Chain A
C-alpha cells in the first residue's frame, strides 16, 4: 500500500503517523507500506496532476480548501468517503472534520472526501518573563493589547514578531478583520452566502498600518519569512508572536531560557484555525480498503495521544491520555473553540478562492511599507476575491 505525506520527519504528525504505519503493518501481515515523503509545494502545485494519473498512491495527505481538495473532489479525482465513514462507524462528528466535506468544490458541507487527524488555531504566543519584567498581564481587550505593545515600544522593544513576507501577515490582518465580524459575515466571506463585510477588512488594514506607524510592527518584517519570525521569538528578540499551534512542538524543544504561554487574540470571538489537512483516497487508488484501514489506524487513541503529547492538536485524543503541558494547553483550547456557540474557528483568509494567499501577502507587505493605503490594499484583495470567485463559477 502506498502512503504519501509531506510533514517533516521531526514533526509531531510525522512521528505519530510513523507509529500508525507500524501498527498497521503489525495488523496486516503480508502488506508492506510503501511510504514516500513529498513536499507541501509538490502537492500544492502538482497534486491534481498526480491524482489524475495512474501513479496515484492509495492514501495521501492533501490540502484542505476550495482551491485544492475542492477542485479535485469536484473533478471526481477523490473517493467519496461518505458511505465508508458510515459503514465503518468513523466518529467524525465535530466541526474540525468540516474541512473534509465538499459540495461542488466548496468546503464545509456536502459529501465527505477527506478525514483530518488534527486541528490548529492561531493565537498570540508571548514571552511570560518579558511580560513579568515590565509588570504586564496577558491582555483581554484590544485596547489592553495595544497598551502592552506600547509599553514595550516605550522601552525600546519592537513587540510583535511578524513575518509579513509570508502567511503571518495575512493572518494578523484577518484576525483584526474578524474582530468586527460575526458568524454571518464570516460565512459570507468563506462560503459566499452573502455580501462580504469589506469595511471590517478596511478597518483592520487601517489598524495594521497604525501599528506599523506606532512601532508595534517593524517595517523590516516585509523581508522576514514566517520561520525567521518564529526563530526571533524563540531567541527572545520579540515578546509577542501571533501564529499557529504548529509552532508548539518546536517551542517545547527550542525555548529553554524563558517561560512562554499563549492567549487567544483579545476580545475576538472568531479566530483563524480549522481542522488540519486531510487524508484522502484517490479515485484511482488500487487498494482502497487498506487505505480506509490506515485512516482508521491514524484515528486511534494511541496515535492521537502521541500526537497530543508532541504538541500537535489531535481531533480524537483521549484527553486524559495526553500528559504533556503543551498538549493539555492546545487540546483544551482547541476543544473550547470547537464547542464555542458564538464564534470559534474562522478558517483562514486565503481559503475562499485560489491564489488569494499571494494577493494577501502582496498587499500586506505594501501596507506595512506604507506603499499603499488601507483602502487600496483592501480594494486589491476584494478584486482578486471577486475574480477568483467568478473563475471558480460561484
Chain B
C-alpha cells in the first residue's frame, strides 16, 4: 500500500500561500470601501478641525468646533430626539412586527390561504417602497391642522377637541413624526420575521400543540425563541437607521417647530448647506458616525454572544 505524504516544507509553503492567495479577493471590496467610506470619512474629520464655508481654503482651528458642539443645546436636543426615534424605528416596529408576522404566519395563512397572507404582508411593506418624499407629502396633508383628514375625521365624529396641530405644535410634533416612522418601519420587520418563521421546524409547534400549549404560549416559547437571530439583526439595522434618520425629518418638519424634531443628521445638513459652517457640520457628522459605529459594534457583539445568527 502506497502512503501519500506531503513533505513538511511543501506543507508549510501551502499553509503560507493560502491566506496570501485569498487576500486578492478582498482587494475590490477594500478599494471601494477606502474610496467611498474611509477616505471621505478621513476628509470629514479633517474638515471638522477647520473653519470653512465650503469654498476657498479651510482654516485650521483645532478642536474649536467640538468644544462649541458640546455646549450647543440644539446638538444635545437632537440626540434626545434620536432616542425617541430609536423607540419609533427599532423597538415598536420590532415588537409589532414579531406579533404581526406570527399572526399572518400562524393564523391568517392556515385559515385564509397563503395568498391573503402574502397580500397583507405586501400592504405592510408598501410604505417601504414608497419614496420618502411622497410619503412625507401624504402625511403632511393628513396632519394638516385645518383640512387634514385626521382632524376632519375627528371633527366629523364629534371629537373635535382631539384635533391637533400635529406637526406644528411642539408638544405633538415628535409623536406625529414617530407615528410616521413606525408606519414606515413595520413592513420591514414583518417581512424579515415572516421569512424567519418559514425556517422554523413545524414539528416544534406540532409537539407543543400535542402537549396542550395555546397560541400565545407557543408564540412566547417557540416563535420568539426561534426568531432571536432575526430580531437581533432587525434591532441593529433599525437602531442604526434611527440614529441616521434624515429624510422623514427633512420632508415632514425641517426639524421644527422650533427645534422640536431636529436630529443630528438634519442638524449637520443645515450647517453644511444653509449656515455655510461646513467645519461645524463635519464635526456633528463625525460625532454621529462615531456614535453609530460604537452602538452598532456593541449591539453586534451582544448579539453574537447571545444568538446563533452569526459566526462566532
Interface residues of A, Cβ cutoff 8 Å to B? 44-46, 48-49, 52, 67, 71-72, 74-75, 77, 165, 219-224, 228, 232, 237, 354-355, 357-358, 361-363, 365-366, 369, 371-372, 388, 391-392
Contact = CB atoms under 8 A, between A and B. Distances in A.
A52 B255 CA distance: 29
A232 B146 contact: yes
B271 to A, nearest CB: 8
A358 B257 contact: no
Contacts of A74: 56
B169 interface: yes
A365 B257 contact: yes
14 contacts: A45-B273, A74-B56, A75-B55, A165-B168, A223-B166, A224-B146, A237-B146, A354-B276, A358-B254, A358-B270, A362-B256, A366-B257, A369-B258, A391-B51
Nearest to A391: B277
Determine chain A's interface SS by DSSP, over half rule. Answer: helix
A271 B243 CA distance: 43
B274 A44 contact: yes
Q: How large is the interface on B (under 10, 10 to 19, 20 to 34, 35 or more residues)?
A: 20 to 34
A362 B169 CA distance: 12
Nearest to B151: A220
B274 A358 contact: yes
Given A232-B146, A363-B258, A391-B51, A223 B274 contact: no
Contacts of B53: 71, 75, 354, 391-392
Contacts of B152: none
A220 B277 contact: no
A142 to B, nearest CB: 27
Interface in B32-64: 51, 53-56
B54 to A, nearest CB: 5
A46 B55 CA distance: 11
B201 to A, nearest CB: 51
Nearest to B273: A45
Given A165-B257, A369-B170, A369-B257, A222 B270 contact: no
B54 A222 contact: no
A237 B56 CA distance: 49
B69 to A, nearest CB: 13
Contacts of B55: 48, 52, 71-72, 75, 77
Interface core residue of A67, A369, A388 (most chain B CB under 10 Å): A369
A293 B275 CA distance: 34
Contacts of A354: 53, 274-277
B144 interface: yes
A44 B273 contact: yes
